[in-house]
Structure 1
Amino acid sequence: MAALQRLLSSAWLLHLLVLAALAGWILVLNAPFPRPAVALLEAHQLEILGVGGGLVAVLALLYRRANLALQAAVISLSIAGLGVAPSPAHGVTAAAILLPINILILALLDERGLLSRDGLWRCAALVLQVLLVLGLFRHQPAWLEALAATHFLPAAVSSWSSLPDQGLLLGVLAVAGLLSWALLHPNPPHIGAFSALVTATVGLELSLMRHGSLVLPTLLAVVALHLLLFAVLQEAHRMAFRDGLTGLPNRRAMDTLTQGLSGRYTIAMMDIDHFKAFNDTYGHEIGDQVLRRVASNIGRVGAGGRPFRYGGEEFSVVFPGRSPDEAVGALEAVRQAIADTPFRLRSADRPADDKRGSRERSGQRGEQETRITISIGVAEPESTSASADDVVQAADQALYRAKKGGRNRLAR
Structure 2
Amino acid sequence: MLSLALVLLAAVTVANIELHGRSRAHEGTRAQLNELNMLLHEESSLQWKTLASRNTPVKVARELGGIRLRERDILDKLPGSEALSRQVESYHAVLDDELGLLGVGKTAEALALEQQRTDPAFVVLANTLQRLEESETADADLAKSLADFTLILAMAFAVAAIGLLLYRFEREHRASLRAREELLRQQQEALDTLAEHEALVRHQAAHDPLTGLANRRALTELLTGATGPQALLLIDLDEFKPVNDRLGHAAGDELLIAVAGRLLEAAPDGAVVRLGGDEFAVVQAGGEPEGVALAERIVAVLGEPFDIAGTTVRIGASVGLASAEEAGDGVGDHLLREADEAMYRVKQSTKGGFAVSCVMTAR
More helix per residue: 2
| TM-score (structure 1 length as normaliser) | 0.43
Task: Point out the structure with max Rg over C-alpha.
Answer: 2
Q: TM-score with structure 2 length normalisation? A: 0.48
